């Protein structure tokens, strides 16, 4: 690829644009698009409030617990290699 080893697009740092710039512009464009869909003006700031706290541990009912156990067993069985009979 033009005398470079590796992927040709990794050599763009000094030539044209970087992937960081492209990703940043794409992210900004996508955010503006989503805000427009929600009817929020793009020139007003967006405040994000995260409030994480523990709601509970475990399963709500015995049925939920049984379903979780069955699902875990199915995953375990799928991961086991099938025995071959000679």
23-69 pLDDT, tens per residue? 899 999 998 899 899 998 878 888 888 888 888 888 999 999 999 99
CA dihedral 58→61→66→69, nearest 10 degrees, is -10
Of 71 and 16, the one with more pLDDT: 71
Long-range CB contact pairs, 3-12, < 8 A, 24+: none
Please list, in sequence order, all residues whose beta carbon lies within 8 angstroms of the beta carbon of residue 4, skipping any fewer than 6 positions away. 11
3-state secondary structure 20-82: HHHHHHHHHHHHHHHHHHHCCCCCCCCCCCCCCCCCCCCCCCHHHHHHHHHHHHHHHHHHCCC
Confidence of residue 3 (pLDDT cuts 50, 70, 90): low
Of 9-13, 20-24, 62-66, the poorest mean pLDDT is in: 9-13
Mean pLDDT over 75-83 rounds to 82
């Amino acid at each position: 690829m033009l005398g470079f080893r590796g992927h040709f697009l990794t050599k763009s740092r000094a030539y044209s644009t970087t992937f960081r710039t492209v990703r940043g512009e794409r992210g900004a464009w996508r955010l503006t698009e989503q805000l427009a869909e929600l009817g929020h003006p793009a020139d007003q700031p967006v405040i994000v409030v995260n409030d994480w706290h523990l709601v509970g541990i475990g399963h709500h009912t015995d049925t939920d617990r049984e379903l979780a156990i069955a699902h875990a067993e199915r995953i375990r069985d799928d991961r086991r290699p099938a025995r071959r009979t000679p």
